[in-house]
Copies of this chain bind each other. A is one copy, B any other.
Amino acid sequence: MIQQIILKSRPSGFPTPDNFETKSIENLPVANGMVRLKAHTFSVDPYMRGRMSDAKSYAAPYSVGGPIVGGCIARVIESQAEDFKTGDFVMGYLPWQEEIVIDVTGLKVIDENLAPLSYYLGILGMPGLMAYFGLLDIGKPKEGETVVVSGAAGAVGTVVGQIAKIEGCRIVGIAGDDTKVNYLLNELHFDAGINYKTITDLSSAIASACPSGIDIYFDNVGGEISDAVMSHINYGARIIICGQISLYNATSQPTGPRVQSALLKNCALMQGFLINNYASRFPEGIKALSQWVGSGQMTYKNTIYHGFDKLPEAFIALFSGKNLGKLIVEVE
Q: Which residues of A contact B (CB under 8 A)?
A: 56-58, 219, 222-223, 226, 235, 241-244, 247, 253-274, 277
Contacts and interface: CB of A to CB of B under 8 A. Distances in A.
B241 A264 contact: yes
A254 to B, nearest CB: 5
A95 B240 CA distance: 41
Given A222-B258, A244-B260, A264-B274, 7 more contacts: A241-B264, A253-B257, A260-B270, A260-B272, A267-B277, A268-B271, A269-B271
B266 A272 contact: yes
Contacts of A255: 255-258
A258 B255 CA distance: 5
A255 B271 CA distance: 20
Contacts of A261: 222, 244, 247, 254
B263 A241 contact: yes
A244 B270 contact: no
Contacts of A268: 271-272
A295 B86 CA distance: 72
A258 B247 contact: yes
Contacts of A256: 255-256, 258
- Residue of A223, A244, A265, A274 with most chain B CB atoms under a 10 A cut-off: A265
Contacts of A266: 58, 272
A270 B270 contact: yes
Contacts of A219: 260
